[in-house]
Amino acid sequence: METNGIEKKLTGLEGDPDLQFLLQGGDLLKVRSRSWKKTRFLQLQEDCKTMYRKSDKLFKSHQTFPIDDISSVRIGRQSEGLKKNTEEQLESRCFSIVFKSRRKNLDLVASSHEEAKQWVRGLEKLLSNVNNLSRQETREHWIFNCLKKADKDKDEKLNLSEVKRFLRLINIEMDDSYAEVLFQNCDKSKSGYLSGQEIKELYDLLSQRVEIDVIYQEYAKTTGFMSAHNLVEFLMKEQRERASLADAHSIIDKYEPDEQVKQKKLLSKDGFLMYMQCPEIMILNQEHKELYQDMQQPLSHYFISSSHNTYLLEDQLKGPSSTEAYIRALMKSCRCVELDCWDGSDDEPVIYHGYTLTSKILFKDAIQAIKEYAFKTSNYPVILSLENHCSVEQQAVMARHLSSMLGSALVTAPLGDGMPTNFPSPEELKGKFLIKGKRLNKLEANFTSEAAGDDTDVTEEEESSDETDEEQKKKSKLKLAKELSDMVIYCKSVHFNGFEDAQKNLSFYEMSSFKEGKAMKLAKESANAYIHHNVEKLSRVYPAGSRTDSSNYNPVPLWNAGCQIVALNFQTSCSEMDINQGRFLVNGKSGYILKPAFMRDPSSEFDPNTPTPGDWRQPKTLHVMVISAQQLPKVNQKKSSIVDPLVKVEIYGVPDDMAVKETTAIENNGFNPSWNESFQFGVSVPELALVRFVIEDYDSASSNEFVAQYTLPFTSLKMGYRNMPLLNRNGDLLPSAGLFVHIMVLNA
C-alpha cells in the first residue's frame, strides 16, 4: 500500500511548499476567551485528508478532523471570538478555521504574519483540491483511508480479521464465510494475508458496479467494446440527449484510460464506468446550475430565499445569537435576513430574541458581517428585515450605522426619476441592500411639495406574539426615527386588512408579514386572491412564535400561493429546510427563482387547490427506477453498526401532486446496496413540483433514521441513467456517497 505517492497525487500538490509546511505542522495559539488561550500543535497527516491536533492535557486523546469538514478558512480577526478576545495589533497573525457542521470555529494566532498567511494558503489549496477531486478519485481516496485504518499493525498487509474490519469501515456487513471466501480468492500467494496487488484485487472485486456492466453489455456490440456509434445510440435512446459522433469521440478522449483502445475510438468497460461517474451524468440539468432565468422582472415575480431569526444558531429560548449565523445563511444564498433590534447599553443597539435568554450581539457587528458576506455566493439584492423595538435615540444610531457601513450599496431613494409604479428587478438591484421596516409616511410624499406629516408614531407589530388582530390594533404606538423611516423605500411594513383593502388602499411597495397559520389559511381558502395580491406586492411569511425549538413549517403551499419571502429557520436541519435548499439549488444559487408565468399574470385563474384546465396544467408521468447506492455513511459510529438502507421518493407541489413511494430495505449493506425497484408518479403542475430522494436506515423497532437526501425542481430533472450527489442533515455534500437511478418523464 504505497501511501505517500497516491495521496499527494490525489491532492495534486506534490512538491508544493505550502503542502510541505502543513505536513511539518507547527504550534499555534488557540483562543477561546480573553483568559483561555493555549498552545496547540497542528499538523496535516500523511493522508493529506486529516488534520491532527495535539492537546497538552495528560489524559486527553489527541484529536483529528477531516479536511472535508472545513467550510472555509478566514485570515484576520474575522470571527466573533477573535474580535472579542484578541488585540487589534494581532490582526495579521490571526486566522479562523470554520467548520461545516455545528462545530465551533477554531480561532488561532500564528507566531508571525508570514506564518498565518502560509497556514491559510496551504489549507485553501488543500480545500480547493479536495473539492475538485472527481467522483472516481474521491472514491479511491475513501477506500484508501479505510484500508489504512483497517491495517492495525501498519505492516501494509491485511490478515483476515483486518479485511473484516475494512469491510465494516466501508459499511458492508459480510457473512463471515463470505468474507473468508473473498479473502481466499484474493490471497493468490496463499500466505494468509493480502498485500500489494492482492489488496487492489479485493478493491476491484468490491467496487464492481454490476448495474453499469449490464448497461455496458447491452450497448457494447462491437467485439465486446463500445464504438462511438454504440455510444451515440446509448446517449440518444437512454439519456434522451441530442448527440453526434463528435460528442462520442470527445467522451472517449476524456474518459478512456487505455491508450490503445482510445486510438481505435472505442470505449472499454473501465472507460464507460469512468464516464458514468462524471458531472454530465448528474440528475440535475447542468444548464440549470448556472443563472438561466430572466432576472429583469419586478422583484415581486420571484421566490426569494429567506431566513427567520437569522441571528440564532440554535433554539429561540436560550440559544446563542451570533454573527456567524448571518454568515452561514448568506453563504447558503439566503437573500432576506432578519434583525430583531433592541436598546443596548452605551447607546449601541443589540440583536437578540426579545424577552428570552438568547445571547446578544451588537447591531453594528451584525451589519459588518452581513456587508462582508452578502454577495459572496450571489450578487443579487439582500433584504434586511428590521424587527424594531428600539427607542428613537437608538434608531438614529441604527440609521447611522447602516448609512456609514453600507454606503452606496444601501438603497435610500427609488431608482430612476419620479415616483415608481412597480418594483425594480433583481438585475437592477445587484449588489444592493433594501431595508424592510416601518415608514412614517407614503413614499409618494418624497415627490410632492407638501411637507411630510410630523407624525412620528406607527403601530408596533410584534412578530413573536400570538395575539389576535384586535389586540394588534390596540398596540402601543412605536415612535419612529425619521432617519430610519427614510431608509425604507421598497419594503414598507403595513398591517394586512384583507385582499380587497390591499388592492384599494396599498401601494405596490407596502408589504405585509403573515404568521404561518394565517398564511396557510389564506393559501387554502383564497389561493387565487393571494396569487393576484402577490403579482405586484411582496408577502413575507414567518414561523409561529410557538415554535420555540426553531422547527419549520412546509414552505410549499405558500410558494403555491405566490408568496415570495417564505422565511424559515435556516439554523434548523429538517426536511422543510431540504425542500427550501432544493427550490433554490438552481439558477446559479442566486437566491432568486422566477415564478411560473401563470403566477405573474394579474388575471390568472390558477388555483393550486382545484385542478382546473389552464397553461399550468401540463400533466406528466414520472417513471423512477431506484437502482443502487454507493458508500452510504454510517448513522451510528458504533463499529458494529451497518445501515439497512431504503429509499423514499417524494413529490412536493400542488396538493394533487403530493406523493411518497419507498423501496424495501436492504439488510446490512451501505457500501453498494442495490434495489432495482420502479415507481410511477403523476405530476399535473410540473413548474411548481420538487422531487426529494431520501435514504433512511430501516428500523423495525423504532422510526427509521435519516441517512442522506437530495432535492431538486421537477423541471431540472435529466432523463436516463443518472447519479445524484447526497447531502447530510446539514445540507453539506457527502464526499463519496451517491444514488444511481433511471428517470423517464413522459407527457401524460
Same-domain check for residues 200 and 92: no
**What pLDDT is recorded for position 505?**
95
Give the pLDDT means over successive 10-residue stretches in the chain (748 positions).
49 79 94 92 86 69 80 91 92 93 87 95 88 68 75 83 82 68 85 84 79 92 87 95 95 89 92 86 95 98 96 82 92 96 95 86 96 96 97 97 98 93 97 97 82 56 50 64 96 96 96 97 97 97 91 97 96 94 97 98 95 92 96 75 92 98 94 94 98 94 93 98 95 88 95
Same-domain check for residues 306 and 425: yes
pTM equals 0.84
Domain boundary among 180, 206, 232: 206
Same-domain check for residues 255 and 384: no
**What pLDDT is recorded for position 463?**
57
Which amino acids are annotated as binding site for substrate, given as ranges? 30-57, 436, 438, 513, 540
- Cell (9 digits) for 77: 480577526
Same-domain check for residues 14 and 101: yes
- Residue 62 annotated as catalytic: no
DSSP state of 300: G
Q: Domain range holding 643? A: 620-747
Same-domain check for residues 493 and 402: yes
- Residue 533 annotated as catalytic: no
In a domain, 124, yes or no: yes
Domain boundary among 178, 206, 234: 206
Q: On the CB side of 660, how many CA atoms lie within 13 Å of its CA? A: 6
CATH number assigned to the domain comprising residue 197:
1.10.238.10
In a domain, 466, yes or no: no
Domain boundary among 164, 190, 206: 206
Number of domains observed in the structure of the chain: 5
B/e letters for 467-496, b = 16+ CB within 10 Å, e = fewer, are eeeeeeeeeeebebbebbbbbbbbbbbbeb
Same-domain check for residues 521 and 381: yes
Which amino acids are annotated as binding site for Ca(2+), given as ranges? 309, 338, 340, 387, 642, 644, 668, 697-699
In a domain, 590, yes or no: no
Which amino acids are annotated as binding site, given as ranges? 30-57, 309, 338, 340, 387, 436, 438, 513, 540, 642, 644, 668, 697-699
Same-domain check for residues 265 and 142: no
In a domain, 291, yes or no: no
pLDDT tens string 235-275: 999 999 999 999 999 999 998 888 899 999 999 988 898 89
**What pLDDT is recorded for position 54?**
77
List Cα–Cα distances, 306 to 146, 309, 539, 564, 568, in angstroms. 40, 10, 11, 9, 6
* Cβ proximity of 90 and 77 under 8 Å: yes
CA distance linking residue 253 with residue 739, whole number of Å = 26
Same-domain check for residues 165 and 242: no
Q: Which of 141, 288, 301, 308 is catalytic?
A: 308
In a domain, 614, yes or no: no
CA neighbor of 540 nearest in space, from 525, 570, 507, 518: 518
In a domain, 636, yes or no: yes
CATH number assigned to the domain comprising residue 30:
2.30.29.30
Same-domain check for residues 168 and 150: yes
Same-domain check for residues 377 and 236: no
Same-domain check for residues 316 and 369: yes
Same-domain check for residues 219 and 165: no
Residues 6+ away with beta carbon under 8 Å from 256 = 262, 266, 267, 268, 271, 274
Structural element, H or E, at residue 580: helix 575-583
Q: Which of 353, 401, 532, 742 is catalytic?
A: 353
**What pLDDT is recorded for position 661?**
98
Residues 6+ away with beta carbon under 8 Å from 56 = 38, 39, 40
Structural element, H or E, at residue 674: strand 674-683
In a domain, 605, yes or no: no
In a domain, 84, yes or no: yes
